[in-house]
Structures are given as C-alpha cells and as structure tokens.
Amino acid sequence: MSITLEEILTQPNAWQEAIEVTLNQARTWLPLWHQDIDYVLFTGCGSTYYLSLAAATLFQRLTHRPARGVPGSELALNSSTVIHPGTPLLVAISRSGATGETLRAVEVFRQRTQGAVIAITTRDDQPLASLADVALVIKAGQEQSVVQTRSFAAMYLVTVGLAVLASGSHQMIPAMGQLPSIGRRLIPAVRAMMETLGQDLDITHIYFLGSGFLYGLAAEASLKVKEMSLTHSEPFHFLEFRHGPMSMVDENTLLVGLLSERNRQHEQALLDEMADLGARVLSLGERTAALSFHSGLPEILRGVLYLPPLQLMAYYRAVARGLNPDHPRHLSAVVKALDA
C-alpha cells in the first residue's frame, strides 16, 4: 500500500493522540492564555499556513479575541505588517519542527515582542519545540510521505482543542472525544466514492469553496490536489466565486463546497447556480449534502471530518494520472533553508 494512502486511512489514531495531548497538557499552556493577551497569531508554511487561517478564524469565533493566521515568511520578513501594539501570543505550527521560515518567524517574534510561544508539531527532537514556551507534540502524526495528510488533521485538532479550552467551552470536550470513532466510520464509508471521483479525468480544474474557518480547510484541500495530482485547483470564499472566478466554469469544472451551518442557504444557492452553468458539484456537510457526515457534533468540532474525503480524492486522482503521490514533483518533506 502507498505510504500516503496508509497515512490517510489511519489518521484517526493521530486524532486521538492530538485530543489527549491538548487536554492533558492544558495546565502547561493555559497559563499562557490570560487576560493580558491582546491578540493571537497563528503561523506556518504551506499546509500549516492554511491550518493557521482555519485555526485563527475558529479561535476568534470561540474566544472573541482577535486572531490572525499569517505565513511564517511574512512574520519573518515583514514583521511590521503582522505585529502591532499590545501583547500577542504566537502559535507556531510545523510538522517537521524544522521549517526554516517558521523558525525564523519565532525568532523575530521573540526579538520584537514579550509574547509567549506555543509550538504545535509532530517532533520533539527538532528546533521548534525548544524555541517555544510550550510544545504540543503529536508523535502519532509523524509521516513518511512528503504531502501532509495525517499530520495536518492531527495538528488542526490541537488548535480546535486550544480554542475550546481557552474559551471555557468545556461542554464540547466529550464531543471532541467522539471524533476518532467517527473518523474510523467515515473514511471507509466514503473511500469508494472519492476513488470514483478522483479517477474522473474529464475533470480538468477543481475549485474548493469554504466560509469562515472552513476557508482555510478548503485552501488545504486545494493544495493537496495540486501537490499530488498536478491539477489546476484554487480555493475561494464561497460568495467570492461569483465575483469573477465563475467565468472559468464549464463542463470540466468540479466545484467542491464545504458547507457550513450558519451560511448554508447562501452556499447552497451558489453551488446550484454553478451547476446550472455546467459545473459538477460535490457538497460536504453534516446533512443533506452529497457527502454527509451525520456526526451529531457541534459545527465548531466538525472541520476535521472534511479532510479525509478530499485527501482521498486527491490521492486517487494522482494515481489515475499515472503519478506517485508518495513522491510529488519538486517537493521535499522539510523546507529548512531561509534565504538571506
């Protein structure tokens, strides 16, 4: 079995560890979150930048404290556009713990603020863990593959746990604990559907749509399709697609909609409109979607459920195109160097 496929299929085990680590280490990181914190920065590179976008939106929604996701390179090279007056908290995310721009971003943050740093990673033997005040390490999220799948989902769940506990939403903790078992049911249930869709090479371009914290996850899903299958793919906020990008829709377009609860009426209307223009449409959501989770969980916890189906679609599309998802073109698992 492909390494990448194995890591996608087994990821609920890493979800379990992510939840346990976040909850069990709350006494070490919660003291860093206090009333003197004026805003929170989430940073990463590539996949973990998109993770940061999702995490920041979710964190602000739950805690009502300003939060922003930024690329590590922007914090490292253009810190004046990222850091502003007040006391920030930085959450730095890196699968390898050795990403060059992310390490430099933490160093610049240390130089220019008095804020604390929380690291989220899968490796405790790499520099990021030692640079942080607290490191939340998900060893079960470690991967051999270049493309992030299992690690992304696990580290994303850590940020969900941070938001839940920082906001005092303790009633959500039991529901979080149900996610691994739901994932173990969901992944085999959707595998054949995603394989069929991924193998459809009449589709030439794919657009992923998401609102709120789901936009970051849509961006990550788009990246998976690019990395694995070398297919033209872009993410958009749902209604932004109507402002220009819809001109690209034709019968070879697949539009993937990550449906939310609060904006569902507008989101579904957009998908219906694009279907009328000839696009193929795949909707994902809790219920009455082409792919429904039926999880019974609060919306704020369900983000991770969108990931495995779309990872599988990207994987099977790569295979159908004669590509090896374990060895994507031009990519390496760790980008260490930060050019001067």
Could you tell me the mean pLDDT of each successive run of 10 residues in the chain, 340 residues long?
Answer: 95 98 96 90 98 98 97 96 96 96 97 96 97 98 94 98 96 97 98 98 97 98 96 97 94 98 95 96 97 97 98 98 84 58
Q: Do 81 and 193 belong to one domain?
A: no
Residues 6 or more apart whose Cβ sits within 8 Å of residue 257: 209, 210, 238, 267, 268, 270, 271, 281, 282, 283, 284
Smallest CA-to-CA distance from 284 within 321, 227, 238, 232 is with 238
**H helix or E strand, kind and range, residue 109:** helix 100-112
Q: Do 311 and 198 belong to one domain?
A: yes
Alpha helices in the chain (DSSP H): 3-9, 11-24, 26-29, 47-63, 72-77, 100-112, 127-131, 150-166, 173-176, 179-198, 214-229, 264-276, 307-320
Smallest CA-to-CA distance from 7 within 302, 314, 233, 322 is with 314
Q: Do 163 and 268 belong to one domain?
A: no
Domain presence at residue 331: no
Q: Are 62 and 169 in contact (CB under 8 A)?
A: yes
Domain presence at residue 328: no
Amino acid sitting at position 307: L
Q: What is the pLDDT of residue 339?
A: 54
Rounded Cα distance between 213 and 58, Å, is: 5
Length of the chain: 340
Q: What is the DSSP letter of 169?
A: -
- CATH code: domain of residue 75: 3.40.50.10490
Q: Do 88 and 200 belong to one domain?
A: no
Smallest CA-to-CA distance from 310 within 185, 204, 226, 246 is with 226
pTM confidence score: 0.96
Q: Do 101 and 34 belong to one domain?
A: yes
Strands 134-137 and 116-121: parallel
Rounded alpha-carbon distances, angstroms, from residue 153 to 16, 32, 65, 285: 11, 24, 24, 17
Strand partners, 137: 121
Greatest C-alpha distance within the chain: 54
Q: Do 139 and 194 belong to one domain?
A: no
Domain count, the chain: 2
Q: What is the pLDDT of residue 335?
A: 60
Q: What is the pLDDT of residue 330?
A: 64
Rounded Cα distance between 227 and 87, Å, is: 37
Q: Which of 176, 201, 219 is the last residue of a domain?
A: 176
Q: Do 16 and 149 belong to one domain?
A: yes
Q: What share of the chain is helix, strand, coil (3-state, %, to 5)?
A: 55, 15, 30
Q: Do 151 and 214 belong to one domain?
A: no
Outline where DSSP puts E strands in 101-168: 116-121, 134-137
Q: Which domain holds residue 42?
A: 3-176
Rounded Cα distance between 129 and 122, Å, is: 9
Q: What is the DSSP letter of 325?
A: T
Smallest CA-to-CA distance from 213 within 76, 324, 58 is with 58
Q: What is the pLDDT of residue 149?
A: 97
Q: Are 306 and 68 in contact (CB under 8 A)?
A: no
Q: Are 163 and 146 in contact (CB under 8 A)?
A: no
Strands 280-285 and 253-258: parallel
Q: Which of 112, 141, 176 is the last residue of a domain?
A: 176
